[in-house]
Amino acid sequence: MFVQWCKKLALPRDLHAHGLRKTFNTIAAEADCTPHELMALSGHKTLSEVTRYTAAADRKEAGG
């Protein structure tokens, strides 16, 4: 379905639904969502999968 929407809107062909999930998790982590909240919202199964988003948000917040 995502591919059809992208075609209809004449969006770049290299867009993927996973990119939306990644962007959502990044923004949510930067908004101080906890790893467990990210898991509940994004459907990730393990903490290790969402830790990369919270770790990146923590680095960004620390100025690194």
| Model pLDDT for residues 13-25, shown as the tens digit of each residue | 888 888 888 888 8
In 1-64, where does DSSP find H-type helix?
Answer: 2-8, 17-30, 35-42, 47-61
C-alpha of 48 from chain center: 14
In a domain, 37, yes or no: yes
Report, as an integer, the average pLDDT of 32-49. Answer: 90
In a domain, 33, yes or no: yes
Q: Is the pLDDT of residue 37 over 90?
A: yes
In a domain, 32, yes or no: yes
Average pLDDT over all residues of the chain: 85
For position 9, what pLDDT does the model report?
94
Report, as an integer, the average pLDDT of 15-41. Answer: 88
- Total number of domains constituting the chain: 1
In a domain, 57, yes or no: yes
Domain limits for position 28: 14-61
**Exposed, middle or buried: residue 45 (CB in 10 Å: 0-12, 13-18, 19+)?**
exposed
In a domain, 26, yes or no: yes
In a domain, 8, yes or no: no
In a domain, 7, yes or no: no
